[in-house]
Chain A
Amino acid sequence: MSRRFMSIWFRHLLTDWHVRRQPGLQNKPFVLAAPVHNRMVITSASPAAATQGIRPGMPLADAKAIVSSLEVFDDEPERAAQLLKALGEWCIRYTPVVGIDLPDGLILDVSGCTHLWGGERPYLKEIITKIRAIGYDVRGAMADTIGTAWAISRYGKITPIIDSEGQRNALMLLPPAALRLEEEILARLQKLGLHQIGSFMNMPASVLRRRFGPQLLLRLGQALGYEIEAIEPLHPVPPYEERLPCLEPIRTAPGIEIAINVLLEQLCLRLQKEGKGLRTAILKGYRVDNRMVQAEIGTSHASHHPQHLFRLFELKIPTIEPALGIELFTLEASKVEDVSPSQEVLWIGNPGLKTPAVAELLDRLAGKIGEDCIRRYLPAEHYWPERSFKTATSLDDKPATAWRTDKPRPVQLLSKPEPIEVTAPIPDYPPMLFRYKGKLHEIRKADGPERIEREWWLDGGEHRDYYNVEDADGQRYWLFRSGHYSGDQSQWFIHGFFA
């Protein structure tokens, strides 16, 4: 299907806006002026001023000489863009793809939209009359290319709607300025007596390029449809988005559940066909009171599994506040990644971390309690017990080194060693007894010492001499003396409990 574009030209965008704000200015000569090189230059003139011969680009003093009662307003440079943006937003009701064409136009991609208004002519008429009713003097044109639509809207005299394949004939009689060319090229064309596009349209491309540079060929190609031209939409259409308008506003949790299910089914079907899976998704609910509520989920692996994704959203339903009701739901997959299809297996041979069930469980837990609570550890090459393991960043991380088992380590390790009172007979001997939390433990068996030095490049302090001890009841502890033996001043700590 060929594409159709519509160009809308606001003939007096800024002056019309002033008239809308101050109806008294209607039919009065007034201009907008801005300082250029230390003098005021007219940037746009009202239709009444234009009939008196006042043109944009004229110094303000000259214009005042022509019309003494001329009213002057300051031109704000950002105004045109703001107005066009607002008008573009308004046009979204006619087509989802609307682009701004500075300084005074809009470009609409109307492919596949016009039949909803009963054809191209009624569609064009509807938009033009609606905008005129607002108070802007506009011209519109429709064609297969942006270039031709632009040219016809500004310079066309016969018909605003150009059929497919009709661009060439439509452009023939128009002046070269209709091709959106630079002043310099226009002047050169003028000098050579090429007053109509038709007079140079059929010249060989090499000649045109040599004489006028590549821009002329590009613009001509864009108008005739040889070159592709894209418009930058006001609202980029997200690639993976599903919409669900509701006949009645939704106000209940089961209603929201149904909406999520429907949206997920549609989205997942599309993702599945394209071999994609989503990593993050946002559900937005547009409420009757013009507020928006949203819920966001994330997965650790790209997924297009509707049941799994629904379970993630299920946890978020209580946070969605429908108030008076939600009219429109949209589900957007904001982050999408390729999914490598998993091979169907007859036997679940080695269920591991990669099992989808585990990944889905962790997604669900992360959604409810937060990702910080879920940890996995890998060995770290440090002798200092507190540093002998590190947190893994993802489920795919593999240990770089083996876990050390050559030295006995306690199963329970206190996060901070607690001081104890001991009685030690002689240096480098394990203590005979120690008191921990008011209870006296008599040591029967002991191993050690195992000296673990501080990693001085990481932190300073004393080394530790660890002893594994067993008391009379068979309870096993990991004790250490901080630093060298120094009689009564020796500091002893309990650090862990062996199984």
Chain B
Amino acid sequence: MFVFNQQSGMPGVKADIISQLQKDILHMQGFRSKLTDTVPDIDLGPVNTAFPNGIFPTGAIHEFLCAAKEHAAATTGFVSALAGNLMQRGGVCIWISVARTLFPPSLQTFGIAPDRVIFIDMQRIKDALWTLEEALKCNGIAAVIAEVPEISFTQSRRLQLVVEQSKVTGFILRTSSRSANTTACVTRWKISPLPSELEEGMPGLGFPRWNVDLLKVRNGRPGTWKMEWAEGKCVVISGDAATVIIPGRQLKVG
């Protein structure tokens, strides 16, 4: 599963030791794989290969860059789809925002019952971050989504430490990416809209399509996929599935 295994004819024993060590390292870095749960909460198909252990990391903080309104809309769709998966087992979602434009009834399309989402609207970023931390501490919650313009490394580190204890999954939508500074989040995504496609000759709009760009993932391999939200599922249409790592992008993300 990991690069080391594929690379050379290493003896089996050594490979075992290495994979055990890798798991230990992941454990120390805050990744907890659910041993009792074989079915992952979020199954993104081919995208799973990008994540450590091949499982979408829940109980972690995910960061999304969305500067433009159009990107914010696409990101909201993608994040709602992820959170909708987490809420399948019941549980509520908390949506924290500074200057919210989200249209609650639309969440139903992405598998979230809008009445199970608690919206918290704040004026100041400082309050929003405090609320975010408090919400992440509460383990009765399926997911916490926060729309904030900026987050510093220290703030994100605090949040990451909180979720390592509480196992709540957090999604941070950074609406202003003037400087995409480094954060302690496990992943960094950028979702942008793609033209929808319909069968030949059909009029109108198709299912929402996104270019899902996984810019950064801790202990995993970033990549880019084209995904479509169709019939209540995220389907990967095509994409370079984590085999090609573009050095330039790595540098950019830092």
Residues of A within 8 A of B (CB): 348-353, 355-358, 360-362, 364-365, 368-369, 373-379, 385, 388-389, 392, 397-399, 403-405, 408-415, 444-447, 468-470, 472-477, 496-499
Q: Is the C-beta of B116 less than 8 angstroms from some C-beta in chain A? A: yes
Nearest opposing residue in chain B for A444, CB measure: B195
CB-CB under 8 A from B109, the residues of chain A are: 405, 408-409
Docked CA distance A472–B110 (Å): 24
CB-CB under 8 A from B160, the residues of chain A are: none
Which of B73, B110, B120, B209 meets A410, CB within 8 Å?
Answer: B73
9 closest A-B pairs by CB? A499-B77, A357-B140, A497-B73, A350-B90, A413-B103, A474-B195, A355-B140, A475-B70, A403-B108
Residues of B within 8 A of A (CB): 69-70, 72-74, 76-78, 80, 89-92, 101-110, 113-122, 127, 130-131, 134-135, 138-142, 192-196, 198, 203-206, 208-210, 229
- Are the C-beta atoms of B73 and A378 separated by less than 8 Å? no
CB distance from B180 to the nearest CB of A (A): 21
- Are the C-beta atoms of B138 and A358 separated by less than 8 Å? yes
Which of A349, A352, A496 meets B116, CB within 8 Å?
Answer: A352
CB distance from A349 to the nearest CB of B (A): 7
- Are the C-beta atoms of B205 and A468 separated by less than 8 Å? yes
Nearest opposing residue in chain A for B104, CB measure: A377
Which of A349, A350, A468, A497 meets B70, CB within 8 Å?
Answer: A497
Docked CA distance A398–B229 (Å): 28
- Are the C-beta atoms of A409 and B103 separated by less than 8 Å? yes
Nearest opposing residue in chain B for A376, CB measure: B118
Nearest opposing residue in chain A for B195, CB measure: A474
- Are the C-beta atoms of B121 and A375 separated by less than 8 Å? yes
Which of A368, A414, A446, A499 meets B208, CB within 8 Å?
Answer: A499
- Are the C-beta atoms of B140 and A351 separated by less than 8 Å? yes
Which of A403, A447, A499 meets B78, CB within 8 Å?
Answer: A499
CB-CB under 8 A from A379, the residues of chain B are: 105, 114-115
Docked CA distance A353–B89 (Å): 13
Docked CA distance A499–B74 (Å): 4
- Are the C-beta atoms of B119 and A352 separated by less than 8 Å? no
CB-CB under 8 A from B122, the residues of chain A are: 369, 373
- Are the C-beta atoms of A352 and B91 separated by less than 8 Å? yes
Docked CA distance A398–B113 (Å): 11
Docked CA distance A445–B192 (Å): 18
- Are the C-beta atoms of B115 and A412 separated by less than 8 Å? no
Q: Which of B80, B115, B116, B194 has the most CB of A within 10 A?
A: B115
Contact A445-B204, Cβ < 8 Å, known A357-B139, A376-B119: yes
Pull 26 A–B residue pairs with CB atoms less than 8 Å apart, ordered by A: A349-B90, A351-B89, A352-B91, A357-B141, A364-B134, A373-B120, A374-B120, A392-B115, A411-B76, A411-B77, A411-B103, A412-B69, A412-B73, A412-B101, A413-B103, A445-B203, A468-B204, A468-B205, A469-B205, A474-B192, A474-B195, A475-B193, A476-B196, A497-B72, A499-B208, A499-B210
- Are the C-beta atoms of A474 and B209 separated by less than 8 Å? yes
- Are the C-beta atoms of B119 and A374 separated by less than 8 Å? yes
CB-CB under 8 A from A377, the residues of chain B are: 104-105, 114-115, 117, 119
- Are the C-beta atoms of B105 and A358 separated by less than 8 Å? no
CB distance from B181 to the nearest CB of A (A): 25
Docked CA distance A356–B138 (Å): 10
CB-CB under 8 A from B138, the residues of chain A are: 357-358, 360-361
Which of A405, A412, A415, A496 meets B108, CB within 8 Å?
Answer: A405
- Are the C-beta atoms of B103 and A496 separated by less than 8 Å? yes
Nearest opposing residue in chain B for A361, CB measure: B138
Supplied contacts A379-B105, A410-B106, 19 more A-B pairs, CB within 8 Å: A351-B90, A351-B92, A355-B91, A358-B118, A360-B138, A361-B141, A377-B104, A377-B105, A399-B115, A403-B113, A412-B102, A413-B106, A415-B101, A445-B203, A468-B204, A475-B193, A476-B73, A497-B72, A499-B77
Which of A358, A364, A476 meets B193, CB within 8 Å?
Answer: A476
CB distance from B196 to the nearest CB of A (A): 6
Q: Is the interface of A mostly helix, strand, loop or mixed?
A: mixed
Docked CA distance A374–B105 (Å): 17
- Are the C-beta atoms of A447 and B73 separated by less than 8 Å? no
CB distance from A486 to the nearest CB of B (A): 25
Nearest opposing residue in chain B for A372, CB measure: B121
- Are the C-beta atoms of B76 and A412 separated by less than 8 Å? yes
- Are the C-beta atoms of B229 and A499 separated by less than 8 Å? yes
Docked CA distance A399–B116 (Å): 10
- Are the C-beta atoms of B110 and A374 separated by less than 8 Å? no
Which of A375, A468, A470 meets B195, CB within 8 Å?
Answer: A470
CB-CB under 8 A from B101, the residues of chain A are: 412-415
- Are the C-beta atoms of A403 and B140 separated by less than 8 Å? no
Q: Which of A357, A369, A389, A411 has the most CB of B within 10 A?
A: A411
- Are the C-beta atoms of A473 and B195 separated by less than 8 Å? yes
CB-CB under 8 A from A350, the residues of chain B are: 89-91
Nearest opposing residue in chain B for A409, CB measure: B106
Which of A353, A356, A405, A498 meets B73, CB within 8 Å?
Answer: A498
Contact A361-B140, Cβ < 8 Å, known A411-B106, A468-B205, A474-B209: yes
Docked CA distance A182–B64 (Å): 85
- Are the C-beta atoms of B134 and A361 separated by less than 8 Å? yes
- Are the C-beta atoms of B115 and A376 separated by less than 8 Å? yes
- Are the C-beta atoms of B115 and A474 separated by less than 8 Å? no
CB-CB under 8 A from A399, the residues of chain B are: 113, 115
Nearest opposing residue in chain B for A470, CB measure: B205
Docked CA distance A423–B120 (Å): 39
- Are the C-beta atoms of A476 and B119 separated by less than 8 Å? no
CB-CB under 8 A from A351, the residues of chain B are: 89-92, 140-142
Docked CA distance A409–B103 (Å): 8
- Are the C-beta atoms of B142 and A368 separated by less than 8 Å? no
- Are the C-beta atoms of A374 and B106 separated by less than 8 Å? no
CB-CB under 8 A from A470, the residues of chain B are: 195-196, 205
CB-CB under 8 A from B107, the residues of chain A are: 411
Nearest opposing residue in chain A for B139, CB measure: A357
CB distance from A383 to the nearest CB of B (A): 12
CB distance from B16 to the nearest CB of A (A): 34
